[in-house]
Amino acid sequence: MAEKHSIRCRLQEWIEESGGNYSTVAEAVGVDVGAIRRLAKNQFDRVDCVTWQAICDYFKKPIGELFFQEDVDVA
């Protein structure tokens, strides 16, 4: 069984704090709303740097605040 990645992002928190929603963020950064939803729910395997930079620019936050590592139980 493949190991689950432990990299998480705070996009959902940022969206909630801003009072926005997936659609407004998707339109502002120029990506599909489904992609924003997957990113916000940490359902991603790869990071597109252009997308992440656009998200950070939109929220006016540094990329270092977007990601964190979570302990993953590997059984």
* Mean pLDDT to the nearest integer, 39-66: 94
Tell me how far CA of residue 57 lies from CA of 28, 32, 51, 66, in angstroms. Answer: 10, 17, 10, 11
Residue 18 lies in a domain: yes
Return the pLDDT at 18: 97
Which carries the bigger pLDDT value, residue 5 or residue 42?
A: 42
CATH number of the domain where residue 23 is located: 1.10.260.40
Range of the domain at 51: 7-69
Instruction: Tell me: pLDDT of 75 over 60.
Output: no
What is the per-residue pLDDT across 16-26, written as a single tens digit (0 to 9) for each? 999 999 999 99
Residue 3 pLDDT exceeds 50: no
Interior/surface letters 41-50, b for 16+ CB within 10 angstroms, e for the rest: eeebeeeeee
Q: What is the pTM of this model?
A: 0.83
